C-alpha cells in the first residue's frame, strides 16, 4: 500500500493539470482498502476516488484524500449460462487491456468500447460508452467497500442507477463506496454492433463484409486515434461534454435551418433525439480555437485540450464559453461529462 502526504497529482490526470492532494492512498487488495477505511478520520475527508484520471478536471489542489485502486486480476466463470461468460476484473485493471483480453478469448460485447482510457472501476462509475454501446449493457454486478463501515457489498447492475454517463456511484454514492471488482456478462457469440458512427462505412472501405470482433475493434481503434488527441502529447480528458438529448420539436427546429440530412442525430427510447455535442460546438465556430492556453481540438470539437501549461480554471473557462455559445445559438444546455473537482 502507498500512503503519501502532499502528493503531486500531475501524472494522475490526463489533462496534465498541476495540482496536489493532502493525502494519496493506493491499495491493491480488498483487505487493504478495508484497513484504510478503518484508519480514515474526519481530517482525511473529503475523499476522491481516482482511477486513471482520464475523466477528471482538477481546478485546484484537493484538500482531502485521494484513493486509488491497484487491485488487479481477472477470473472467468464459463458455467454461468450456456451462451454467456461472466468475467470478473479488478478495478485497477486498464480498461482497454481488459477489452483486448475479452476479444482475444471470444468473450463478446465490449469491443465497441475499445481504446477508451481509464480503469475498469471507472467503467462502472461513469457508465462509459461509445459507438452505440454502454458499460451498463455488459455489467453484471459490482463489488465495493463501504468506506464508512469497511463492509464489503455487492450490487447487481440494476441497483446502480445507470443512465447516460451516470450512476449512483457518481452521484449519491460518491465518496461512500469504492469499487473493487466488476463482473461483466459477455456473449460467446459475436453479434456486431455496426450502426453507430462510421463503423459500417469504414468496414466497407476495407472490403470487410462479415467482420470479426477483432476487425471491429481494429476499426474503432483506428477511428478513435484518427480524431482524438494523444493525452501524453496534448493533455485532454477525451469527450468533455455529454451529447445533449433534445425534444423532437427542438431537433426539427434545427433541421429547418440546416436542412434534412445535415443534422446528425440518434433517436432515443423516449422519442427524443440525441445530437452530437461536437457538431453543435463546431457550428458555433469553436473547432480548433483556443482561449488562452486551453483549446478545442482541431479534429474533434467534443474534446478540450491543454495547449501547454493550462490550469484547470483555464479549461473550465473554455468549457463555460463553449456552453454559453451553444446555449445562445441553439437554446440547448450542454453538460460536462468530465468530473470537475
- Spell out the residues 6+ positions from residue 5 whose beta carbon is closer than 8 angstroms to its own: 22, 23
Place of cell 464459463: 78
Q: Catalytic residue, from 23, 167, 239, 323: name it.
A: 239
Spot the catalytic one: 23, 123, 143, 165: 165
Maximum separation of any 2 CA atoms in the chain, in Å: 61
Residues with Cβ within 8 Å of residue 6, at least 6 apart in sequence: 20, 21, 22
For 111, the 3-state DSSP assignment is: helix
First-to-final CA distance of the chain: 25
The C-alpha angle with vertex 130 and arms to 127 and 132, in degrees rounded to 5, equals 100
List 100, 143, 202, 337, catalytic entry: 337
CA R_g for the chain: 20
Residue 244: closest CA among 165, 335, 162, 319:
335
Place of cell 463503423: 199
Is residue 56 within 8 Å of 237, Cβ to Cβ? yes
Bridging pattern class, strands 56-57 and 339-340: parallel
Q: Is 91 a catalytic residue?
A: no
Structural contact between residues 65 and 45, judged by C-beta atoms closer than 8 angstroms: yes
Helix residue ranges, H only, the chain: 30-39, 95-104, 120-126, 199-205, 213-227, 248-258, 277-283, 312-330
Active-site residue, 224 included: no
- Calpha distance 132→118 (Å, rounded): 19
Q: Does the active-site annotation cover 239? A: yes
- Residues designated as active site: 165, 239, 337
Amino acid at each position: 500500500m502507498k500512503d503519501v502526504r502532499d502528493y503531486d497529482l500531475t501524472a494522475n490526470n490526463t489533462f496534465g493539470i498541476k495540482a496536489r492532494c493532502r493525502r494519496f492512498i493506493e491499495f491493491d487488495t480488498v483487505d487493504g482498502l478495508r484497513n484504510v477505511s478503518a484508519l480514515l478520520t474526519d481530517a482525511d475527508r473529503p475523499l476522491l476516488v481516482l482511477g486513471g484520471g482520464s475523466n477528471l478536471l482538477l481546478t485546484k489542489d484537493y484538500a482531502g484524500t485521494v484513493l486509488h485502486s491497484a487491485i488487479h486480476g481477472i477470473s472467468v466463470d464459463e458455467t454461468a449460462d450456456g451462451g454467456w461468460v461472466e468475467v470478473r476484473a479488478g478495478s485497477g485493471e486498464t480498461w482497454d487491456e481488459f477489452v483486448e483480453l475479452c476479444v482475444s478469448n471470444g468473450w463478446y460485447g465490449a469491443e465497441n468500447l475499445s481504446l477508451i482510457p481509464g480503469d475498469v472501476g471507472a467503467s462502472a462509475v461513469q457508465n462509459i460508452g461509445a459507438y452505440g454501446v454502454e458499460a451498463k449493457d455488459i455489467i453484471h454486478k459490482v463489488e465495493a467497500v463501504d468506506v464508512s463501515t469497511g463492509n464489503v457489498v455487492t450490487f447487481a447492475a440494476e441497483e446502480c442507477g445507470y443512465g447516460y454517463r451516470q450512476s449512483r456511484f457518481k452521484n449519491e454514492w460518491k465518496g461512500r463506496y469504492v469499487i473493487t471488482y466488476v463482473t461483466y456478462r459477455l456473449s460467446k457469440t459475436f453479434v456486431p454492433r455496426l450502426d453507430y458512427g462510421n463503423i459500417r462505412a469504414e468496414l466497407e472501405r476495407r472490403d470487410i463484409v462479415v467482420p470479426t470482433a477483432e476487425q471491429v475493434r481494429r476499426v474503432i481503434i483506428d477511428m478513435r486515434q484518427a480524431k482524438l488527441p494523444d493525452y501524453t502529447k496534448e493533455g485532454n480528458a477525451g469527450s468533455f461534454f455529454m451529447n445533449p438529448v433534445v425534444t423532437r420539436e427542438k431537433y426539427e427546429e434545427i433541421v429547418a435551418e440546416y436542412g434534412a440530412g445535415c443534422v446528425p442525430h440518434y433517436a432515443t427510447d423516449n422519442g427524443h433525439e440525441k445530437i452530437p455535442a461536437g457538431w453543435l460546438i463546431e457550428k458555433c465556430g469553436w473547432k480548433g480555437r483556443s482561449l488562452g492556453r486551453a483549446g478545442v481540438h482541431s479534429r474533434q470539437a467534443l474534446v478540450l485540450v491543454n495547449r501547454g501549461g493550462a490550469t484547470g480554471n483555464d479549461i473550465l473557462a473554455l468549457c463555460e464559453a463553449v456552453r454559453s455559445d451553444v446555449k445562445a445559438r441553439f437554446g440547448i444546455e450542454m453538460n460536462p461529462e468530465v468530473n470537475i473537482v
